[in-house]
Amino acid sequence: MAAEVQLKVETVQQETQVVTLLLQELVSQHSHPREVEVEEDTLVEQLLRVLVVLEEELKVLVLLLEALEVLVTPLLQIRHKEIMVVMVLVA
């Protein structure tokens, strides 16, 4: 489970880098009005596709984190009970 979460986090980071690069390219094109408008549209389309993928990856990441929480919560409760027993035995 943790490996899946790590993989999704890395994927989201990579997609975020792609979005950043596309946005930088878009901004640089706006600073050079000579650029062809078709290229701008292509960049916007690429950016939208990447954002859709990023949104899907984030949804999956949220589901994985929720599943991880469901798995970890009982373990934490068991650990808390063990600590309480040790405290009672020590006292």
CB of 54 within 8 A of CB of 12?
Answer: yes
Q: pLDDT 10s per residue in the chain (91 long)?
A: 778 878 878 888 888 888 888 777 777 766 655 555 556 678 788 888 888 888 888 888 888 888 888 888 888 888 778 888 777 888 7
Domain ranges of the chain: 2-90
User: Which pLDDT value is given to residue 26?
Assistant: 73
Helix axes 2-30, 37-90, angle to 10 degrees: 150
Residue 46: which of 72, 71, 19, 28 has the closest Cα?
19
- Rounded to two decimals, the pTM is 0.50
User: Which pLDDT value is given to residue 38?
Assistant: 56
CA distance 50 to 17: 10
